[in-house]
Amino acid sequence: MKPKADKIVCWAVAALSLTLLACADTRSREAGGGTAAAVGRSEPAPGPAAAPPQTASPQAPAQVPGDARLLEDERNTIDIVRKTKYSVVYITNMQYVSDFFFTYDELVPRGSGSGFVWDDRGHIVTNFHVIDEGVKYMVSLPDQRQVEATLVGRDPAKDVAVLKLSEAVAGLAPVTIGTSRDLQVGQKVIAIGNPFGFDHTVTQGIVSALGRTMPGAGGFSIRDMIQTDASINPGNSGGPLLNSSGELIGMNTMIASPSGASSGVGFAVPVDAVAKIVPQIIRSGKVTRPDLGGLSFVRDEVAQRSKIVGAVIMEVSRDSRAYGQGLRGLQRDTFGRLLIRDVITGIDQMKIKSYDDLFAALDGYKIGDTVTLTVEREGKARQVKIQLTGSD
């Protein structure tokens, strides 16, 4: 029995081994892609093992050119500064000063300001108060050279003056003349000048307000001034105020500061007024304005103390048209007291509250125009027609 049992066990082990080998072969075929999918298609030969992916090494960030980092507004400002580099100058006002014993006079700098090149003939435009009372003027050019200049003419009423270089200077560039009639509050402006002696200083801001009236250096108010928040400091006076196209829109003139500090709100004479005055000064050395002819007026502060509204006529020339039209000035009564006769309270459709108003109104007319004045005498008003003449 035992031999037979051992033989059965051997056969059973052999059958089990064959079964295990068949299963192992089946699993091997499935892992390798299974049996052949179609007749004639063979398995691809195994290729070389793929190389593991390489990790990229870190690189430094690319360098961006300086101009590419600028904003468009910055590029615009830089272009304007480059464009006007040879258009702005520095002016020194020289005056004589006596020593303590009045034994000799010495020529010393007494004031300074800015100016800009008007044309290619050497004319420099600046403020009247920059050159006032000077006997000699030195102009510092963009290349740091100094050239003496002579006074061509001035207009204190608008705070404008014109100098001319004493020698021909190559390389200067006249400013581009713009207009101030279409300015808008909020638009960008650039002021260039020499504040505190720091030449060619640039400040930027906006038009803060328009139509401002400020007291001028000649005793009259300057109307329609441009108010700006671009920094204007001592030494900026006479320098150009430019728009975003690099065009001249005004001449920096004054600072308004309640505390009396050297900085505050800036004001500029509008270029339309400058462009009307400068050619006259260059042509004849003076400014000729429309005038009523033969009339003089009481100072406004005197009239205001007397609570009089209007332009008070002080004197009328007997050979004037105004005298022929019946206008009369102050007269004295039997006690020697001055009596007011005629007061101008209107011109055409405009109301006149002071001589300053009348002066500003006449600026809008031409020599030869005929105007209708509203004149009051002792509380009664009448109309008087006058043809305007020219006056320096």
Residues annotated as part of the active site: 129, 159, 237
| CA 112 to chain centroid | 20
Count of alpha carbons within 13 Å of 305, Cβ hemisphere only? Answer: 4
- End-to-end CA distance of the chain: give it in Å, rounded: 157
* Residue 133, amino acid: E
Residue 215, CA distances (Å) to 267, 288, 341 in order: 11, 21, 28
How far does Cα 286 stand from its chain's mean position?
27
- Burial of residue 129 (CB within 10 Å: 0-12, 13-18, 19+) is buried
SS3 122: coil
For CA atoms 91, 96, 99, 104, the dihedral sign is positive
Q: Can you spell out the DSSP letters for 263-281?
A: -SEEEEEEHHHHHHHHHHH
What residues are paired with 149 via a beta bridge?
Answer: 137, 165
Strands 88-98 and 188-193: unpaired
What letters, b where the CB count within 10 A reaches 16 and e where it falls short, cover 347-367?
Answer: beeeebbbbbbbbbbbeebee
One-letter amino acid of 37:
A
Q: Which of 319, 343, 314 is nearest to 330 (CA)?
A: 314
Burial class for 268, CB neighbours closer than 10 Å (0-12, 13-18, 19+)? buried
**Phi–psi pair at 305, nearest 5 degrees:** -65, -30
Distances in whole angstroms, Cα of residue 177 to Cα of each of 63, 161, 251, 270: 40, 17, 11, 11
What is residue 116's DSSP assignment? E
